[in-house]
């Protein structure tokens, strides 16, 4: 059986008896072994996945299977799964086994999804290349000398290499959409609060969102539909009812004209690859030819978004990661002599360079004398960004931009942290303002690497965004 199939293609093969869940899992396990050098997986649940596949096949035969029967998923290594290890790809959580499952995992399992393993990522989801994992970098399966993007690099590598049907990642500033752009996949981040964060190891709590990485928009819509909704364990999860995203795609009126804003500053950005800009121009012309209204709008805050994002997220990381002290669980230094040395040495040895950099930066911006100058000012910038974004959506249905300024770059090519941080320049807006955003793989560069187009919509308009995106993905 071929891998790299969409879920609808897999279900068609299962329905026609061309394949079973068990045979599908066996195919994936074989490819995982063949592609182990990609370093996509931290752990493979081989026996468990086969056993569950057999159970799901029985439920399919009895016509009692859930909506995800036949979907084989990988979980980013910061999403908890009861009875399984989770480390956020950090030494600090060495040997830790989760006592409960994330709400998204419970909802997937309830619909008969098969979880095949946990996937490598940048340590504590801090990175744009998946080179910050304590367990080594992930390679891009489309060109193994390139990064897959980050922080959900293992998730995109697994899907792009055909090692699972889909994967879950987390998106704090673009960590689903940026790597999806680098690997030719669909990466979707719902609006803040649409998907429960219960069971997600926190990086920056007011930014983080769990979302799907898939081979097409329909699969992303289906997974998001299932994992979305209120959750008693997450006070930030919205009580807004969840529409049928997949039904909206099926019934979408492709002839309905839409108003789409093009951010002028993104389009004119000197850092944007000329070929990506040329492709965006072609997509814009195609949309106009299809009857949609597109117009340039000013968003003169492009240079402020990344600095504001890193001030706020590092501040939240400083708070969130203070719980890892080597006392109750996880890594503990062998050189400890008292409680003070236990904290200092365990954290110094357990955290990687990038994580320590961000903790120190976050502690600095929250410190007395600098709080107003940095943290408080960044919060004010965040409000300005949200107000301007909401103002744009008073007149437009969507905002279109490139997903990334460049295609996947070489492993170990970017040494300067600030240059690495700027890889998120087009994606952080959605996290700063809490709106849904998607990267759709429509382009291919002359270097033979893919790249995506990003669409954003008003908060809680995921249904419209996904339906419209399903028409854009045909522009390949």
Catalytic residues: 76, 151, 175
Sign of CA dihedral 196, 199, 200, 202: positive
Question: Counting every residue, how long is the chain?
Answer: 476
| Contact by Cβ (8 Å): 43, 127 | no
Could you give the CA distance from residue 170 to residue 157 in angstroms, rounded to a whole number?
A: 15
How far, CA to CA in Å, does 456 sit from each of 393, 401, 422?
A: 10, 9, 19
Could you give the CA distance from residue 129 to residue 152 in angstroms, rounded to a whole number?
A: 9
Could you give the CA distance from residue 360 to residue 6 in angstroms, rounded to a whole number?
A: 43
Going by C-beta distance under 8 Å and a sequence separation of 6 or more, which residues neighbour residue 394? none
Going by C-beta distance under 8 Å and a sequence separation of 6 or more, which residues neighbour residue 32? 40, 41, 44, 116, 117, 163
């Amino acid at each position: 059986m071929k891998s790299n199939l969409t879920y609808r293609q897999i279900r068609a093969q299962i329905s026609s008896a061309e394949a079973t869940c068990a045979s599908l899992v066996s195919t994936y396990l074989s490819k995982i072994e063949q592609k182990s050098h990609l370093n996509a997986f931290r752990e493979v649940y081989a026996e468990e996945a086969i056993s569950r596949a057999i159970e799901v096949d029985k439920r399919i035969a009895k016509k009692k299977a859930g909506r995800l029967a036949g979907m084989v998923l990988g979980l980013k290594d910061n999403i908890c799964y009861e009875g399984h290890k989770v480390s956020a790809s950090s030494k600090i959580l060495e040997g830790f086994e989760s006592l409960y499952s994330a709400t998204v995992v419970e909802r997937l399992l309830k619909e008969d999804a098969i979880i095949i393993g946990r996937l490598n990522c940048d340590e504590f989801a801090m990175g744009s290349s998946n080179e910050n994992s304590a367990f080594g970098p992930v390679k891009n399966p489309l060109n193994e000398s390139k990064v897959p993007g980050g922080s959900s690099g293992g998730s995109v590598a697994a899907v792009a290499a055909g090692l699972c049907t889909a994967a879950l990642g987390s998106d704090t500033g673009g960590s689903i959409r940026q790597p999806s752009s680098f690997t030719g996949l669909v990466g979707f981040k719902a609006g803040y609060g649409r998907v429960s964060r219960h069971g997600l190891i926190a990086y920056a709590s007011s930014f983080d969102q769990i979302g799907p990485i898939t081979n097409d928009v329909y699969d992303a819509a289906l997974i998001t539909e299932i994992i979305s909704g209120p959750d008693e364990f997450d006070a930030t999860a919205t009580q807004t009812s969840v529409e049928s995203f997949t039904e909206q795609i099926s019934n979408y009126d492709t002839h309905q004209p839409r108003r789409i804003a093009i951010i002028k500053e993104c389009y004119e950005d000197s850092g944007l690859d000329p070929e990506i800009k040329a492709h965006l121009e072609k997509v814009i012309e195609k949309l106009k030819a299809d009857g949609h209204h597109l117009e340039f709008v000013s968003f003169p805050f492009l240079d402020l978004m990344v600095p504001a994002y890193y001030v706020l997220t590092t501040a939240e990381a400083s708070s969130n990661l203070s719980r890892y002290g080597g006392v109750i669980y996880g890594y503990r230094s062998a050189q400890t002599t008292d409680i003070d040395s236990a904290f200092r040495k365990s954290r110094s040895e357990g955290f990687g360079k990038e994580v320590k950099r961000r903790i120190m930066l976050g502690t600095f911006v929250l410190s007395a004398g600098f709080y107003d100058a940095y943290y408080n000012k960044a919060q004010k910038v965040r409000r300005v960004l949200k107000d301007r974004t909401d103002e744009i959506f008073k007149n437009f249905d969507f905002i279109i931009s490139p997903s990334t300024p460049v295609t996947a770059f070489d492993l170990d090519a970017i040494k300067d942290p600030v240059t690495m941080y700027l890889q998120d320049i087009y994606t952080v807006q959605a996290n700063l303002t809490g709106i849904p955003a998607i990267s759709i793989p429509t382009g291919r560069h002359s270097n033979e690497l893919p790249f995506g187009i990003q669409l954003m919509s008003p908060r809680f308009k995921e249904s419209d965004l996904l339906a419209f995106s399903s028409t854009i993905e045909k522009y390949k």
